[in-house]
Structure 1
Amino acid sequence: MKMVKIPLTALLALALVACGNDTAPGNNGTLVSISARGEATSVPDVAGLSAGVVTEAEDGDDAMKANAEQMEKVIKAIRKAGIDEKDIQTTGISLTPRYVYPPSTAGAPNRPGRTLVGYTASNTVSVKVRQISKLGDVLAALTAAGANQIYGPMLEIGEPEPVLAEAREQALDKAQARAHTYAKALGMKVKRIVSISETGSGGMPRPMMRMRAEMATADASAPVAAGENTLSVNLELVFELAK
């Protein structure tokens, strides 16, 4: 039997034909990879808050007890403001000791000679307000109930998919326009889209406002400007160009 040697390139070509590879370009085809980004905006309709109580006492048990009593008032106020149970979640409970140091050891390694003077207890919950028009009332209820740590609001779009769909269409239109530009410059036409991949999507983050204990007496019922949030989608597309 006579052995016939077949070049590796020929074997690969035969394999592509045998597998019916739809992504392989034709004999005269050229592949071009294009990245495109689409954006769409919408008015946010959901606000996230983080609220908590910080208490201090000489004894750890006393600090925790006082904190629990005050936090219970805060949670009751949140519920009374019309927030559903599913939108209230405890995110952190802590108890830490407080020390004082002799002036001569301030900033020194290990800071020797410290004296325990008490404990600080904290309890924090996250709150989701699904009607931004009620956000001012919720803030007022929190401060009136004794919350002395408030972070927020973080404004977001409750149903982002329709907005993301608009961003995807924009990205796709951009990519197709660029593909036609390349094809025209090369004296070719866009034959088909070989592949599409979405490399990432998301919203532009909003800075969070922080309200400290000393701000608790401020007018928390002031109106909140929702503005707009921008969501983006990044697409990677491969086009086949042909004569």
Structure 2
Amino acid sequence: MKKSISVALLALAVFAVGAQTTPQTVSLLPTISVTGQATVSIEADMATLNLAIIQQAKTPLATREAVTSAADKVIVAIQALGIEKKHIRTGTFSIYPVYDERPGKQNLITGYRGETGISVILEDTALVAGTVDTAVNAGANEIRSLNYGKKDEESLRFATLQQAVANAMKKAAAMAETLGRKLGKALTVEEEGFSLRAPDTRTYMAKAMVASSQEAFAPGSMEMSASVLVVFEME
């Protein structure tokens, strides 16, 4: 029994030594590293609107009731536009005391201020202006943010990455040709960065002060960018 165990251990040791000394396959051809980039202009087909409901009353309970009542009215008004309930969400409720600002009475509480948020997902950008007008008329106090986006963002991201890789191959082939060589296979590919740039929310808020709602909330163009690092062999 001991002899069998010794033989097994010896075989395992020989296998381990052999595994450690087996040389790895390494390309002996020269390589070239290239950064590929791609930027695609896209049109938004959805938007997320974030509203604020702010109310003030004498007591915490009265403040909560005022905020809840105002938020319910806004939600009902938005749903009347045909927007599904699953696309409307309310945020957390916050409340804090309001102090007397007169000299010598700064520690005197005169009431309470409460607020909550309402987030609305719009699957049609043409609904943005009407939704904003409806929400404000129903009692929404502030437009906190407006973000445009794409429903199929993931598939567009993959397509942009493919274009970035193609750009890297084109650049690498041109560089290899200049050196009198041919471009070989890709050894490694790394995603260096990805971004989706849309007009800043403040742009819409500024336009809303001087233009009609339809003009103020036009989505404009967005840019999707990708960058990759590819290492190729040169033959």
TM-score (normalised: structure 1) = 0.77
Match of 1:25 in 2: 27
**Structure 2: gaps of 5 or more residues:** 1-18
Match of 1:238 among 219, 231, 234: 231
* Whole-angstrom CA distance in 1 between matches of 2:197 and 2:225: 8
Counterpart mapping for 1:72-87 below 5 A: 72-87=72-87
> In structure 2, do the counterparts of structure 1 residues 174 and 222 end up closer, same or farther at CA, with 3 Å as the change threshold?
closer
Deviations, residues 108-155 of structure 1 (Å, cap 9, x unaligned): xxxx95221211000101111111112122112101211111123211
Name the one with the larger helix percent.
Answer: 2
- Is 2:99–2:106's contact at 8 Å kept on the other side of the alignment? no
Contact kept? 1:41, 1:163, Cα under 8 Å:
no
Pick closer, same or farther for the CA change 1:31–1:195 going to 2, 3 Å: same
User: Helix, strand or coil for the counterpart of 1:74?
Assistant: helix
Which of 175, 179, 198 lines up with 1:186 in the alignment? 179
- CA deviation after TM superposition for structure 1 residue 162, in Å: 4.0
Alignment pair present for 1:115 and 2:123: no
1:202 paired to 2:195: yes
1:57 is displaced (CA, Å) by 1.2
Describe how 1:53-92 pairs up with structure 2 within 5 A: 53-92=53-92
The Cα of 1:207 is off from its aligned counterpart by: 1.1
1:142 aligns with 2:144: no
Specify whether residues 189 and 221 from structure 1 end up closer, same or farther in structure 2 by C-alpha distance, changes over 3 A only: closer
Decide whether aligned partners of structure 1 residues 222 and 72 sit closer, same or farther in structure 2, where only a CA change above 3 A counts. Answer: farther
Measure the CA separation in 1 of the matches of 2:192 and 2:21: 31
- The code of the aligned residue for 1:229 comes to M
The alignment partner of 2:165 has SS state of helix
Report the Cα distance in structure 1 between the residues aligned to 2:103 and 2:216, rounded to whole angstroms: 46
**Structure 1 position 182, deviation (Å):** 2.6
Q: CA 1:149–1:185 in structure 2 vs 1: closer, same or farther (change >3 Å)?
A: same
In the superposition, relative to structure 1, how do residues 123 and 157 fare at CA in structure 2: closer, same or farther (>3 Å)? same
Structure 2 residue aligned with 1:227: 220
Q: How many residues in Structure 1 have an aligned counterpart in Structure 2? A: 214
Q: CA deviation at 1:171?
A: 1.2
1:231 positional shift: 0.7
Specify whether residues 54 and 14 from structure 1 end up closer, same or farther in structure 2 by C-alpha distance, changes over 3 A only. same
Question: C-alpha offsets along residues 28-47 of structure 1, whole Å, 9 cap, x if unaligned?
Answer: x0122222221111110101
Q: Percent identity?
A: 23
Q: Distance in 2 between matches of 1:74 and 1:113?
A: 34
Given that 1:40 and 1:166 are in contact with CA atoms closer than 8 Å, whether structure 2 keeps it comes out as: no
**Structure 1 221/174 Cα, relative in aligned 2: closer, same or farther at 3 Å?**
closer
What amino acid sits opposite 1:178 in the alignment? Answer: K
Question: In the aligned structure 2, how far is the partner of 1:36 from the partner of 1:157?
Answer: 24
After superposition, give the CA deviation of every residue in 1:50-87 in whole Å (9 maximum; x if it has no partner): 11210011211111111111111011112111222221
**Cα distance, 1:223 vs. partner?**
6.6
What is the aligned-residue RMSD (CA, Å)? 2.8
Q: Please give the per-residue CA displacement for 1:150-192, whole angstroms capped at 9, x wherever unaligned.
A: 1232111121234324422331222112212331233221111
Q: Give the match for residue 173 of structure 1.
A: 166
Q: Distance in 1 between matches of 2:175 and 2:212?
A: 58
CA offsets per residue over residues 175-227 of structure 1, 9 Å max, x none?
1122123312332211111121223323014311476xxx99x9656673222
1:33-52 matched pairs, under 5 angstroms: 33-52=33-52
